Homo-oligomer: A and B are copies of this chain.
Amino acid sequence: MPTDIEIARAAKPRPIADVAAGLGIPAEAVFAYGPHKAKIALPWLTGLDRPQGKLVLVTAISPTPAGEGKTTTTVGLGDALNRIGKKAVICLREPSLGPCFGMKGGAAGGGHAQVIPMEEINLHFTGDFAAIAAANNLLAAMVDNHIYWGNALDIDARRVTWRRVVDMNDRALRGIVSSLGGIANGFPREDGFDIVVASEVMAIFCLATDLDDLVARLGRIVVAETRDGEPVTAKDLKADGAMAVLLKDALAPNLVQTLEGNPAFVHGGPFANIAHGCNSVAATRAGLKLGDYVVTEAGFGADLGAEKFFDIKCRKAGLRPDAAVVVATVRALKMHGGVARGDLGSEDAAAVTRGAVNLARHLQNVKRYGVPVVVAINRFAADTEAEIRAVEAAAEAEGTTAIVCTHFADGGKGAEALAEAVVGLADSGAADFAPLYPDGMRLLDKISTVAVSLYGASEVVADKAIRDRLARFEAAGHGDLPVCMAKTQYSFSADPALMGAPSNHAVPIREVRLSAGAGFIVVICGTIMTMPGLPRRPAAEAIRLDADGNVEGLF
């Protein structure tokens, strides 16, 4: 089989204006970025008075090194829905540029289930991440500049929490001392950089419902505390207006297409640990107005991705999902069943059955939200019939159908059965969405509810300092916010080695942070890396232009 980039380059893309026209978007609302990318004007989108389409979430079992294929399934399902005559729109996150040069290559689907132009999406795309980085870093510069020019707000330089960002895997910037070199350069302090997707500006960008909401959220960002412990916000620094100016064009959703020429909004890409891991509300809303079905995905497994999609994004944006798909692979379930990565080649249906406890709990969890669910088995060539049957049986035991998909090899045709099942669920009226916990619940109880109900934990461990901090957030009026769990994606527990469906574990809370602009309380359980590093042999070493000026080595 050819590589992703070879498949992507061999595609004959439609002019993006035609893709937009297919959705009924008039030319004057299409801001082209070359022939195959466009932003769709926000004022036109918000002015649309059309019935909403159905919202379908693609989520997954707990990820393993074997790979699950959530993005390919999202793309394959979208293509399949269009193939069976439905007007479907795909909504995905934008990939981050930095990691393309490290280990993982791009992130625009794979095989015959990709969004294109693959190289452009993986590199600068329409400049959204650059705009987010600029807004983040303008605020950072204004914090230090305020201190430099007299510090009228009495910012405690030791308590500046706002970090700078860069869209690059650069471990050297994780911890720095800044403002060195003398009087003209300010007051030295400890500081550091995160990767752009970890910026609160990214989360805000993805949750903002319009420009006014964007400005208000940016203004609420807490950047530091005074020596008395009072919060200092972006609005206090008068940075919110200029930040919004930097973001205003970026906030219009990006339209591209699948290999099969179907519309896809690819817009926003917040971290799925310290942020909520979904594409922008602007894109999802656009899709719902323009399509009869919107297929979207959320980061990591359903315990993190679907939970945040439901409890943060849907709750805050007033979205009501109609169906969900949980993606599983035979290989990954085998790993959850105890098979080592090197041994995945031999048939082992019993291991699949053992590992399917992971799938089962994710299915139970999704149903708690009142959202009907189907399992997509993302088939690999080596999967045997007995192994497939084991997945189907596990799904059936949960009252759920499991459907074999081959979109990676076959494109949308390989996901038509899944599409039929999804249409059946979404059109059944069975959905009765409700978030897991009410806004008014105490913050610590929200954390416990997620941990006990979804993770199978027996308890949450939070020392007095953590509990006091949560109480302070409540006293300051942030008690109504949802919680954003930052936990390993590899396990229901906080221990990445505990695969399958561990129960009665304790979830330790290491730290809680207020993201007042994004509108959630980040709850950190374990170690969370907000700035990746490059590996010994970075992918960058093999990325180059060939003799025709095409990109080589971006996979």
Contact = CB atoms under 8 A, between A and B. Distances in A.
A170 B141 contact: yes
A340 interface: no
A533 B148 contact: yes
A186 interface: yes
B174 A176 contact: no
B145 A242 contact: no
Given A137-B170, A172-B186, A184-B171, A545 B241 contact: yes
Contacts of A538: 142, 145
A464 to B, nearest CB: 27
A37 to B, nearest CB: 10
B142 A171 contact: no
A417 interface: no
Interface in A124-145: 124, 127, 130-131, 133-134, 137-138, 140-142, 144-145
A543 interface: yes
Interface stretch (A243-251, A391-399, A449-457): A243-251
Interface string A163-176: 01011111111111
A185 interface: yes
A537 B540 CA distance: 41
A503 to B, nearest CB: 32
A429 interface: no
A235 to B, nearest CB: 11
A244 B544 contact: yes
A317 interface: no
Contacts of A149: 536
A340 B185 CA distance: 30
Interface in A165-206: 166-181, 184-186, 190-192
A19 interface: no
Contacts of A239: 540-541
A339 interface: no
A101 interface: yes
A187 B224 CA distance: 28
A168 B168 CA distance: 17
B176 A541 contact: no
A24 B192 CA distance: 50
A368 to B, nearest CB: 38
Contacts of A140: 170, 172
Contact of A134 (B168, B192, B543): B168
Contacts of A249: 120, 123-124
Interface stretch (A26-34, A267-275, A319-327, A482-490): A26-34
Nearest to A31: B34
Given A148-B533, A245-B554, A141 B172 contact: yes
A414 B153 CA distance: 49
Contacts of A120: 249
A123 B32 contact: no
B544 A242 contact: yes
A97 interface: yes
A549 interface: yes
A425 to B, nearest CB: 39
Given A245-B543, A545-B241, A549-B43, A185 B180 contact: no
A174 B185 contact: yes
A144 B124 contact: no
Interface in A519-555: 533-534, 536, 538, 540-545, 549, 551-554
Interface in A193-227: 211, 215
A238 interface: yes
Given A149-B536, A540-B238, A131 B124 contact: yes
A180 B178 contact: no
B101 A544 contact: no
A246 B554 CA distance: 11
A239 B142 CA distance: 33
A185 B552 CA distance: 30
Q: What are the 4 A-B residue pairs with the smallest beta carbon separation, nearest first?
A: A241-B544, A175-B181, A130-B130, A175-B180
Given A144-B170, A174-B185, A242-B544, 13 more contacts: A31-B33, A97-B134, A127-B127, A149-B536, A173-B178, A175-B180, A175-B185, A176-B177, A176-B179, A211-B545, A241-B545, A241-B552, A245-B545
13 contacts: A34-B39, A123-B246, A134-B168, A140-B170, A145-B171, A145-B533, A164-B166, A174-B180, A174-B185, A176-B177, A241-B541, A242-B541, A248-B551
